[in-house]
């Protein structure tokens, strides 16, 4: 973990490999992790996002940040999070900072609980619904190497094909 260069952390876009890989647990919450969390909040706010996961900053570690109103004051950090979804399924339009231009209806559980560590190493648990539950499931997906492009309906997948191909070409 000591090899993270915070100054080099940037938003990553599909098809960067780090986005499709399972992120690794954080073994020690040290200054590097605190700097990383700060940097992730910077990137999220700068891009007008409500959440950002480690792989989206180019770091394959199990950490994400969420701020439902997009402000720094309300940004919350989740380290080694576990999510337990529950309730009904809802379909809502979602976007992702790592797939610019893609917006699609994604099925998620309406509720979930999250257990994670904060920057002091304390474990906390919260119950979530609505946008919060959706954001938690979206960011947790990133830690598993899953993105909204992997959760598209068949029809949406066909219409997203061109955009994804464009992003692949831009990267190469």
Kindly state whether residue 52 participates in binding Zn ion, applying the rule CB under 5 A.
no
152 binds Zn ion (CB under 5 A): no
Q: Which is nearer to Zn ion, 33 or 136 (CB)?
A: 136
Give, in order, the Cα–Cα distances in Å from 69 to each of 44, 74, 147: 11, 7, 22
Rule CB under 5 A: say whether 11 interacts with Zn ion: no
Tokens 């700060």, residue?
Answer: 38
Task: Round to the nearest angstrom and report the end-to-end CA distance of the chain.
Answer: 28
Query: In terms of CB distance, is 65 or 96 closer to Zn ion?
Result: 96
40 touching Zn ion, by CB under 5 A: no
Mention every residue, 6+ apart, whose C-beta is less than 8 A from residue 103: 93, 94, 95
What token pair was written down for 169? Answer: 């070409």
Interface positions, 89-118, toward Zn ion (CB under 5 A)? 96
CB of 8 to Zn ion, least distance (A): 20
- Distance (Å, rounded) from C-alpha 80 to C-alpha 117? 7
Is position 168 annotated as part of the catalytic site? no
Indicate whether 77 belongs to the interface with Zn ion (CB under 5 A): no
Say which of 127, 139, 144, 168 is annotated catalytic.
139
The residues assigned a catalytic role are 139
- Contacts to Zn ion by CB under 5 A: 96
């Amino acid at each position: 973990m000591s090899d993270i260069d915070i100054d080099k952390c940037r938003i990553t876009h599909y098809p960067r490999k780090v986005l499709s890989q399972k992120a690794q647990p954080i073994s020690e919450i040290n200054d590097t992790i605190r700097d990383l969390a700060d940097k992730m909040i910077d990137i999220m706010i700068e891009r007008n996002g409500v959440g950002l996961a480690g792989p989206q900053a180019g770091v394959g570690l199990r950490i994400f940040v969420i701020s439902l109103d997009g402000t720094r004051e309300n940004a919350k950090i989740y380290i080694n999070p576990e999510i337990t979804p529950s309730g009904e399924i809802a379909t809502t339009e979602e976007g992702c900072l790592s797939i610019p231009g893609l917006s699609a209806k994604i099925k998620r559980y309406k509720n979930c609980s999250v257990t994670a560590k904060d920057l002091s190493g304390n474990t906390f648990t919260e119950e979530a619904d609505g946008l919060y539950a959706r954001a938690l499931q979206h960011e947790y997906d990133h830690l598993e190497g899953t993105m909204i492009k992997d959760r598209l309906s068949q029809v949406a997948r066909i219409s997203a094909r061109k955009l994804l191909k464009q992003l692949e070409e831009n990267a190469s």
